[in-house]
Amino acid sequence: RAMPKEALSGSESAAVAALKQRLSGFETEEGRLSGLDMTVRPTDVFVVTTPKAGTTWLQQIAHQLRTRGSMEFEEISQVVPWVELAFDQGQDLAAEQVAEPRLFKTHAWRGYCPKGGKYIVVVRDPHE
């Protein structure tokens, strides 16, 4: 599970290669691998986006829907853990959350995204 820096390939555009390189130092390898190997429940929901594609907005919407509007948190990743950073932040991805279904954020590419749950995928025009 070599994502993202290690997944560089010679056939990618310079922009994609630059993005992967920039993201590669954002989390520790141990934390990223731990998160991506999490045990997924069939009811888990993943908010899957590229960076800067409305991730926080979608996390807020999904959390509001599952809690009927609760704002009892200081930062959204306290209630919707970021898979790749949870280990480094001391969050237990196996733990129960404030409501069901459990929600998770990830910027992992499809081949690396934890398997077995449900997925809300956001895409955007990279030229905007």
14-38 pLDDT per residue, tens = 766 766 666 666 678 888 889 999 9
Mean pLDDT of 83-93: 92
Mean pLDDT of 105-117: 92
pLDDT > 90: what percent of the chain? 59
SS3 46: strand
SS3 124: coil
Report d(CA 125, CA 71) in Å as an integer.
31
Q: What is the pLDDT of residue 22?
A: 64
Three-class secondary structure assignment of 88-111: CCCCCCCCCCCCCCCEEEECCCHH
User: Contact 86/35 with Cβ under 8 angstroms?
Assistant: yes
Q: What is the pLDDT of residue 5?
A: 47
pTM for the model: 0.79
20 compared with 50, residue with greater pLDDT = 50
SS3 97: coil
Q: What is the pLDDT of residue 27?
A: 76
Q: What is the pLDDT of residue 128?
A: 72
Q: What residues contact residue 34 under an 8 Å CB cut-off, 6+ apart?
A: 86, 87
Q: Could you tell me what percentage of the chain is helix, strand and coil, using 3-state DSSP and rounding each to the nearest 5?
A: 35, 10, 55
Average pLDDT, the chain: 86
Mean pLDDT of 59-87: 94
Q: How confident is the model at residue 52 (pLDDT cuts 50, 70, 90)?
A: confident
79 has pLDDT over 90? yes
